């Protein structure tokens, strides 16, 4: 794994508890250039904002299909915040935190995680979250006929199909950005591990 060869000498003689690993990596993080620290700290917010945008667009599409004109704010606010926090928390827990703990040394694994989070949490999940919300509004205000038990799944499948088709490009962008973001996070992580300890001559690292 890409980061393993740097981890062992780094933790040698210092204990291998998770707490020690986190403290050492955080010390290295403070030595990084401002641009790297900013990307590592704030990059996930951009992915989460894109997820909110996916949620808002899909919400608008579902409202049109179900002829819902009522409660625009009540349906818009959840689609702004739910995808944002779902994507942010998932990326933090699955990519950033494992890196900070020194538990994600495989670049490919990090990229796969980022791509899946971007595509499924920041894309597909964010879009489909709007469906039950607008279905409830359509039922409450009788803006669209609701399906019977016999054609329940077929009805909602028909409703979802055009929305998902229109959102396909946004999903692909989320996959691409999630993959890119996680790859950059892993590169910054490797850069952290390669930094010398504070007060130590960098030439000693290369001997």
Q: pLDDT for 42-91, tens place per residue?
A: 999 999 999 999 999 999 999 999 999 999 998 899 999 999 999 999 99
**Residues 6+ positions from 148 with CB-CB distance below 8 Å:** none
Q: What is the pTM of this model?
A: 0.86
147: three-class secondary structure by DSSP: coil
**Whole-number Å distance between alpha carbons of 1 and 106:** 5
Mention every residue, 6+ apart, whose C-beta is less than 8 A from residue 167.
54, 57, 58, 61, 123, 127
- Per the CB < 8 A criterion, the answer to whether 193 and 1 are in contact is no
* 202 pLDDT tier (thresholds 50, 70, 90): very low
3-state secondary structure of 182: helix
């Amino acid at each position: 794994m890409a980061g393993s060869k740097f981890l062992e000498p780094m933790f040698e003689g210092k204990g291998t508890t998770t707490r020690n690993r986190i403290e050492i990596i955080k010390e290295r993080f403070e030595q990084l250039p401002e641009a790297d620290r900013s990307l590592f700290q704030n990059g996930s917010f951009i992915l989460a904002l894109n997820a909110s945008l996916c949620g808002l667009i899909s919400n608008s599409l579902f409202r049109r299909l179900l002829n819902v004109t009522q409660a625009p704010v009540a349906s818009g606010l959840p689609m702004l915040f739910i995808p944002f926090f779902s994507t942010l928390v998932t990326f933090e827990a699955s990519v950033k935190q494992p890196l900070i703990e020194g538990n994600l040394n495989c670049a490919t694994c990090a990229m796969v995680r980022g791509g899946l989070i971007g595509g499924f949490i920041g894309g597909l999940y964010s879009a489909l979250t709007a469906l039950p919300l607008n279905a409830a509004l359509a039922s409450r205000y009788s803006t669209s006929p609701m399906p019977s038990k016999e054609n329940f799944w077929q009805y909602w499948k028909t409703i979802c199909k055009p929305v998902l088709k229109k959102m396909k490009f946004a999903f692909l962008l989320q996959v691409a950005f999630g993959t890119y973001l996680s790859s950059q996070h892993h590169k910054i992580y490797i850069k952290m591990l390669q930094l010398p300890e504070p007060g130590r001559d960098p030439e000693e690292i290369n001997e």
